A and B are shown apart, each in its own frame.
Chain A
Amino acid sequence: MKMDISKMRNIGISAHIDSGKTTLTERILFYAGRIHAIHEVRGKDGVGATMDSMELERERGITIQSAATAVSWKDYFVNVIDTPGHVDFTIEVERSLRVLDGAILVLCSVAGVQSQSITVDRQMKRYSVPRLAFVNKCDRTGANPFKVKDQLIEKLNHNAILMQLPIGLEDKHEGIIDLVTMKAYYFEGEDGMDIIEKDIPTEYTKQAEEYREKMIDAVSMYSDDLAEAYLEGKEMPPAMIYDAVRKGCISLTLTPVFLGSAYKNKGVQLLLDAVTRFLPSPKDRPVTCLDLDNNETEVTLQAVDSMKTVALAFKLDDGQYGQLTYVRIYQGEVKKGMELYNIRTQKKFKVGRLMKMHANHTEDIEEAGAGDIVALFGVECATGDTFCDPSLNYSMTSMYVPAAVISLSITPVDKKSGDQLAKALNRFTKEDPTFRTFVDQESNQTIIQGMGELHLEVYVERMKREYKCEVTTGMPQVAYRETVTEVADFNYTHKKQTGGSGQYARVAGSMAPYAEADYLFVDNIKGGSIPNEYIPSCDKGFQSSLYKGSLIGFPIVGVKMTINDGAWHPVDSSDLAFQQAAIGAFRETYLKAKPIILEPLMKVVVEGPTEFQGNIFGSINQRRGVILTSTEDGQFCQVDAEVPLSEMFGYSTVLRSMSQGKAEFTMEFLRYGKVPNNVSEDLKKAYEAKRKADQK
Chain B
Amino acid sequence: MVKSELIKQSPLRILDDSTHGGVGIGNIGVLAARQGTGKTAALVHLAIDKLFQDKHVIHVTFSQRPDHILAYYEEIFTEISKLKHLEGAMAVHDDVIRNRTIMNFNDQKASSTTHVIESLNARIKEGAFKANTVIIDEFDFAHSTPADIKAFKAFALAQNLEIWFSISLDKESDAQLAHDVPEVLKNFVEEVAVLINLKPSKGRIHFALIKDHGHKPADLHLLLDTKTLLIVKE
> In the complex the two chains form, is B127's CB within 8 Å of A628's CB?
no
A46 CB-CB contact with B under 8 Å: no
B66 CB-CB contact with A under 8 Å: yes
B125 contact from A614, A629, A634, A674, Cβ within 8 A = A614
> In the complex the two chains form, is A154's CB within 8 Å of B101's CB?
no
Bound CA–CA A618/B119 (angstroms): 13
In chain B, positions 63-116 with a C-beta closer than 8 Å to chain A are 64-67, 69-70, 94, 97-98, 101-107, 109-110, 115
Interface string of A8-35 (1 = CB under 8 A from B): 0000000000000000000000000000
B221 CB-CB contact with A under 8 Å: no
> In the complex the two chains form, is B126's CB within 8 Å of A618's CB?
yes
B119 contact from A615, A632, A633, A640, Cβ within 8 A = A632
Residues of B within 8 A of A154 (CB): 64-65
Residues of B within 8 A of A642 (CB): 97
Bound CA–CA A632/B61 (angstroms): 11
In chain A, positions 600-633 with a C-beta closer than 8 Å to chain B are 610, 613-615, 617-618, 620-621, 626-633
> In the complex the two chains form, is A617's CB within 8 Å of B110's CB?
no
Bound CA–CA A631/B104 (angstroms): 4
Main secondary structure of the interface of A (DSSP, over half): strand
Bound CA–CA A620/B128 (angstroms): 10
> In the complex the two chains form, is B104's CB within 8 Å of A621's CB?
no
A-B pair count, CB < 8 Å, reads 72
Closest Cβ of chain A: how far from B87's Cβ, in Å? 14
Least CB separation from A638: chain B residue? B104
> In the complex the two chains form, is A631's CB within 8 Å of B128's CB?
no
> In the complex the two chains form, is A632's CB within 8 Å of B110's CB?
yes
Residues of A within 8 A of B70 (CB): 628-629
Residues of A within 8 A of B98 (CB): 626
> In the complex the two chains form, is B109's CB within 8 Å of A628's CB?
no
Residues of B within 8 A of A620 (CB): 127
With a 10 A CB-CB cut-off, give which of B69, B110, B119, B127 has the most chain A CB atoms. B127
B129 CB-CB contact with A under 8 Å: yes
B55 CB-CB contact with A under 8 Å: no
Closest Cβ of chain A: how far from B167's Cβ, in Å? 21
Bound CA–CA A633/B129 (angstroms): 22
> In the complex the two chains form, is A630's CB within 8 Å of B107's CB?
no
In chain A, positions 144-201 with a C-beta closer than 8 Å to chain B are 154
> In the complex the two chains form, is A613's CB within 8 Å of B66's CB?
no
Interface string of A276-303 (1 = CB under 8 A from B): 0000000000000000000000000000
B102 contact from A613, A615, A630, Cβ within 8 A = A630
> In the complex the two chains form, is B106's CB within 8 Å of A614's CB?
no
> In the complex the two chains form, is A613's CB within 8 Å of B119's CB?
yes
Closest Cβ of chain A: how far from B179's Cβ, in Å? 39
Residues of B within 8 A of A632 (CB): 103-106, 110, 115, 119
B123 CB-CB contact with A under 8 Å: yes
Residues of B within 8 A of A627 (CB): 101, 123, 127, 129
Bound CA–CA A634/B107 (angstroms): 6
Residues of B within 8 A of A626 (CB): 97-98
Least CB separation from A642: chain B residue? B97
A630 contact from B64, B94, B101, B109, Cβ within 8 A = B101
In chain B, positions 18-49 with a C-beta closer than 8 Å to chain A are none
Residues of B within 8 A of A618 (CB): 126-128
Residues of A within 8 A of B115 (CB): 632
B175 CB-CB contact with A under 8 Å: no
Bound CA–CA A633/B103 (angstroms): 11
Closest Cβ of chain A: how far from B58's Cβ, in Å? 10
**Assuming the A-B contacts A629-B70, A631-B104, are A617 and B127 also in contact, with contact meaning beta carbons closer than 8 angstroms in the complex?**
yes
> In the complex the two chains form, is B127's CB within 8 Å of A631's CB?
no
B122 CB-CB contact with A under 8 Å: yes
Closest Cβ of chain B: how far from A599's Cβ, in Å? 13
B residues in contact (CB < 8 Å) with A: 64-67, 69-70, 94, 97-98, 101-107, 109-110, 115, 119, 122-123, 125-129
The 5 closest A-B pairs by CB, nearest first: A617-B127, A614-B122, A614-B126, A629-B66, A633-B106
Knowing that A632-B119, A633-B106, A634-B107 are A-B contacts, what are 15 other residue pairs whose CB atoms are under 8 Å apart, sorted by A's residue number?
A617-B122, A618-B126, A618-B128, A621-B128, A621-B129, A626-B98, A629-B66, A629-B69, A630-B101, A630-B102, A631-B103, A631-B106, A633-B107, A633-B110, A634-B106
